[in-house]
Each structure stands twice: as C-alpha cells, then as structure tokens.
C-alpha cells in the first residue's frame, strides 16, 4: 500500500546495513527491514552509575506485538444520527457511536472518528446466528460475553472466537451479549479492508461491538513517524546471533550480566518468524555469560526447554511484564499484547521447568490501577502461577507520551487531571511521595504472597521501593504499555 511504502522509503534512509525490506501474508500490515548489524552486544550509556546492568542485546527495533484490526469496507457503522454508513465511506471527524461503561453495564457513547485508513490482509467471514455476517482480518477483535477476542488463533496468545460464543451487540441502544458465532471461514485471498481510530476505542459494526486500532509514540530516531510505524516498521538484526557470538569471543569480554528486553521485547511476534533468540541464548551460555530476559511475549514458551537447559551452565533470569489481570481493562491498556491468562500460563510453564520467574507489575497507573484490591488481585494470580518475585513500578511519562496521555486523560477521566498534575509536576517520573505511598501499599501485599524474591541474577532487578530511575531497563517496555492505552 502507498501509505506503508512512503514510510518504508523514508525509514530506509536511516537504516545502515539494510539488506532488504520484506512483507509477508502472516504479518500483512507489518514491514520488516532486515539489516546487518555491526554490534548487537552493546554497553548501556551511563549504565554503571544508574543501572543494575551494563550490557544489553536487542535483536529488534520496533514491536510487532500490536495488531492492526480491520474490517471489510461494506461493514455498516452506526452513526450518531441513528443511520448507518459503510466503513469505506467513513471520514475523519465523523460522529458515530462507541460504547462506555455505566457501572457493570455497557451503553452507547457518542464518539468521533480520529483516523481512517486501508490495508490489505487475509480475510475471514464470521457468521452469527440470525444471518448477520462480518468480514474481518484474523487479528480483528470483537467484544464477546467473555471479553475481547480476536477472530482467529494467532501466535500472541490472545483469546479467539469459536462456535457458540456470543458477541456483544447493540439492539435499539441495548448493549448485550446476544448473537452466537455459527462459523468462521477463511476467504482464501487477501482483501482491501479498512480501520478507524475512535475516541472510545471501539465502534458498532453490523450491530456488534468492534475494537479499533491505536497509535503510539516512538521510532522517530529511525526517521519513522511517531505513530503506527513503531508497530508496522520493524527493524530486524538478522545477523544478531553471529555478531553476538563474535563479540563474546573477544578476549576483552568479562562475562558481565546481559539484560534482554531493555528496549524492545525480544519475544515479540516477529520472533516467531525470525527465531533469533535460540542462537543468542546458546551463544551467551557457551561463553559463560549470565543473562536475564524481560518479556510479555508468549513466544518465549517455545524456548523454555532451552532456557532450562542452559541454566545449568550460567545464571538465567526470567521476568514477565504483567500490569493487571482484569481482562476488560487489560484490553484498553495493552491491545495487541498476549492476554493476562496467557502470560500467567507462561509463568507457570517457566517455574514448572525449574526456572525462577519474576513478574513486573508495570506500569502501575495512579488512581486507575493502584487500589489495594487491584494490586492484591494481580499478586494473588501471580503467586498462584508460581512466580518467585514481584516488582511494582509506577507509570513513567516521558516527553511526547506525557502530552498524549494528558489528552487521553482529559477525554476519558478528567476527574483525575489534578491528581496527575500533582504526581507528575516535576517531570517524567511519579513524585517521591507517590512512589513512597505505592511502596507502603505494595510491600505488605508482596510479603503476604511470598513474592519478595527476585528472578534476576546478580541483583539486576530493582526492589519494589526503588525509584523508577533505577529501573531504566524497563523504560521502553513500559512505554509500550503506556502508548497502547490509546486503544
């Protein structure tokens, strides 16, 4: 598509070592820029003074965790005046209906179309009881009686539709689970499809409640734009394993701890295609180098046997990022990432394999996810999955995201604006008073569930009460959580 090509061409100008640019049907809306990197094992600038580790490996730049949802152009969208209009004919600025919560119930909520675009992806026909049909991409999400579910099974661990599951519908303004799935059929060929971004994060399509796409800030250092390019323009260091192995053979290498997952997730969806991590892990173990991995990608399940094997050679630390276990709220916070249940299952698999597994409850959002019941709910599930430690870190709002988040808050929760102004008055990090308050609330809960340990060798993970500046290894991982709030 021309939209992607423009960005791909612009981005290539900033990519030294570019080998080729690749698109593939299994990642129909993602462009991979395959590069030959000169260095993959990199020292963290200033790391010795502020960070608990000095070396990092990032085989990817950008992140394919996020899905790009889309529907056929003829899908009828419910407009604010009560009429419907084909999705292909929707325009930025149009007023339509989304949904919002009133207590435990959903209701129609007026919203505005913020963006509208097209893509080409493999299509599926979803047929519902009564004859209603939708044509959608496999990763498109629809609201069901069990929460948001994508159309077909993918590699990210997201729940997906099955026959008999009831979709949430709008019937004369009443939002309720009503129409059961009868069948899901692949159409066999890619089709031109459409998507929108709305203020509510959803819209009503052919009478059912549909998720929409989102944007996030990042990637500008590669001359990509600050929105969807982070999701759709992924740089892959295809020679990462060979370069790492060469660097580890250097007589100057002191076998210091290496942290992975410091900038982008090494087990994002792209890893399912490129399979860079097994050889990187083997190179680290063969050289006697201890390492740790931070991920929220369930692709790591593939490598658990390998991690268990090499843990007999070198210290291995595993940590999983899990902000919350409430399914509905997670879909608003982290659309495009594996579900809480999928990540909890991964934690259990890690610990069942004899590995320790810490959990980063991050980012904790002031006044949104920091109640005692919310924190205890997360820790109880984490402990039940067998986690060996838990670290809680408040939301970090660096420039660019801070302005966007303020706009989101003004639109969605204006009652919290004053609180956030106070908490983030001095910059990107939550105030010392808030961090101390969170630590006092979290500490007895962490102790109650026996989660005071750490999964990271050589003390490479910060304790609960450590200020965020001591946990910069999480910055972009947490940033992805924050930016994806716009779903």
Per-residue pLDDT of the chain (487 residues; tens, 9 = 90+): 222 333 334 444 456 678 788 877 666 567 888 999 999 998 876 544 345 678 999 898 776 554 456 899 999 999 999 999 999 899 878 999 999 877 778 899 999 887 676 667 789 999 999 999 999 988 888 999 988 898 998 644 567 899 999 999 998 889 999 999 999 999 988 888 888 878 787 899 999 999 875 433 334 445 454 345 555 678 899 999 999 999 999 999 999 999 998 767 899 878 988 999 999 999 999 999 999 998 888 889 999 999 999 999 999 999 998 877 776 665 555 555 677 888 899 999 999 999 999 998 988 999 989 999 999 999 999 999 999 999 888 888 866 567 767 877 887 789 999 999 999 988 888 999 999 999 999 999 999 999 987 544 443 443 333 322 223 333 333 333 333 333 3
Return all residues near 67 (Cβ < 8 A) that are at least 6 apart: 139, 140, 141, 150, 154, 156, 158, 213, 335, 336
Residues 256 and 352 in one domain: yes
Expressed as residue numbers, the domain containing 355 is 42-53+238-486
CA pair distance 191, 74, nearest whole angstrom: 12
Residues 329 and 404 in one domain: yes
Number of domains making up the chain: 2
> Is residue 222 in some structural domain?
no
Upstream peptide bond of 297 is cis (omega within 30 degrees of 0): no
> Is residue 431 in some structural domain?
yes
Residues 419 and 446 in one domain: yes
Angle at 357 between CA 147 and CA 331, to 5 degrees: 20
> Residue 444 is part of a domain; what is its CATH number?
3.80.30.30
> Is residue 354 in some structural domain?
yes
Residues 274 and 172 in one domain: no
Backbone φ, ψ for residue 7 (5° rounding): -75, -40
Confidence at residue 216, expressed as pLDDT on a 0 to 100 scale: 34
Confidence at residue 118, expressed as pLDDT on a 0 to 100 scale: 66
Residues 163 and 263 in one domain: no
Half-sphere exposure of 364 (CA within 13 A, CB side): 31
CA pair distance 229, 62, nearest whole angstrom: 8
Confidence at residue 217, expressed as pLDDT on a 0 to 100 scale: 34
Is the Cβ–Cβ distance between 243 and 204 less than 8 Å?
A: no
Residues 195 and 282 in one domain: no
Confidence at residue 50, expressed as pLDDT on a 0 to 100 scale: 43
> Is residue 35 in some structural domain?
no
Q: In the chain, count of helices (H) and strands (E)?
A: 14, 23
Residues 342 and 259 in one domain: yes
The reported pTM is 0.61
Confidence at residue 29, expressed as pLDDT on a 0 to 100 scale: 65
> Is residue 9 in some structural domain?
no
> Residue 79 is part of a domain; what is its CATH number?
2.170.16.10
Confidence at residue 466, expressed as pLDDT on a 0 to 100 scale: 30
Residues 262 and 368 in one domain: yes
Q: Which among 354, 352, 355, 337 is positioned nearest to 298, based on CA atoms? A: 337
Residues 94 and 49 in one domain: no
Is the Cβ–Cβ distance between 351 and 388 less than 8 Å?
A: yes
Residues 382 and 249 in one domain: yes
CA pair distance 185, 395, nearest whole angstrom: 41
> Is residue 14 in some structural domain?
no
The kind and range of the H/E element at 141 are: strand 141-144
Residues 198 and 254 in one domain: no
> Is residue 219 in some structural domain?
no
> Is residue 20 in some structural domain?
no
- H helices present in 385-470, as ranges: 401-412, 417-423, 432-448
Residues 200 and 331 in one domain: no
Quote the longest CA-to-CA distance of the chain: 72
């Amino acid at each position: 598509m021309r939209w992607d090509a423009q960005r791909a061409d612009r981005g290539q100008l900033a990519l030294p070592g570019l080998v080729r640019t690749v698109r593939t049907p299994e990642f129909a809306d993602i462009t991979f820029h395959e590069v030959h990197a000169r260095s993959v094992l990199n020292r963290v600038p200033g790391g010795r003074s502020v960070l608990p580790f000095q070396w990092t490996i990032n085989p990817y730049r950008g992140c394919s965790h996020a899905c790009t949802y889309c529907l056929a152009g003829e899908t009828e969208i419910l407009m604010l005046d009560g009429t419907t209009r084909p999705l292909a004919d929707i325009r930025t600025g149009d007023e339509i209906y989304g949904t919002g919560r009133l207590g435990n119930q959903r209701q129609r909520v007026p919203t505005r179309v913020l963006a509208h675009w097209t893509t080409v992806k493999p299509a599926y026909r979803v047929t519902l009881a009564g004859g209603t049909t939708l044509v959608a991409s496999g990763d498109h999400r629809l609201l069901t009686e069990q929460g948001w579910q994508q159309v077909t099974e993918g590699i990210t661990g997201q729940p997906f539709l099955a026959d008999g599951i009831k979709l949430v519908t709008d019937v004369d303004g009443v939002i309720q689970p009503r129409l059961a799935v009868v069948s899901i059929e692949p159409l066999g060929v890619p089709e031109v499809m459409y998507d929108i971004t709305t203020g509510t994060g959803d819209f009503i399509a052919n009478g059912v409640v549909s998720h929409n796409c989102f944007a996030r800030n990042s990637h500008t250092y590669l001359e990509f734009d600050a929105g969807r390019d982070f999701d759709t323009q992924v740089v892959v260091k295809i020679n990462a394993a060979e370069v790492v192995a060469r660097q580890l053979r250097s007589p100057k290498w002191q076998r210091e701890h290496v942290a992975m997952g410091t900038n982008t997730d090494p087990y994002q969806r792209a890893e399912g295609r490129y399979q860079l991590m097994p050889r990187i892990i083997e190179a680290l173990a063969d050289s006697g180098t201890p390492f740790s991995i931070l991920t929220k990608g369930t692709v790591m399940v593939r490598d658990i046997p390998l991690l268990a094997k090499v843990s007999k050679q070198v210290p291995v630390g595993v940590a999983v990022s899990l902000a919350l276990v409430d399914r509905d709220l997670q879909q608003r916070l982290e659309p495009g990432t594996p579900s809480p249940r999928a990540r909890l299952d991964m934690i259990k698999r890690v610990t069942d394999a004899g590995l320790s597994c810490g959990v980063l409850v991050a980012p904790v959002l002031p006044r949104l996810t920091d109640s005692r019941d919310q924190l205890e709910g997360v820790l109880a599930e984490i402990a039940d999955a067998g986690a060996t430690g838990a670290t809680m870190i408040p939301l970090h709002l660096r420039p660019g995201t801070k302005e966007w988040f303020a706009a989101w808050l003004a639109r969605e929760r204006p009652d919290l604006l004053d609180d956030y102004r106070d908490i983030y008055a001095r910059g990107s990090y939550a105030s010392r008073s808030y961090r101390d308050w969170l630590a006092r609330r979290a500490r007895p809960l962490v102790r109650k569930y026996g989660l005071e340990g750490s999964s990271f060798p050589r003390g490479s993970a910060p304790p609960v009460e450590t200020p965020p500046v001591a946990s910069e290894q999480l910055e972009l991982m947490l940033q992805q959580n924050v930016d994806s709030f716009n779903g």
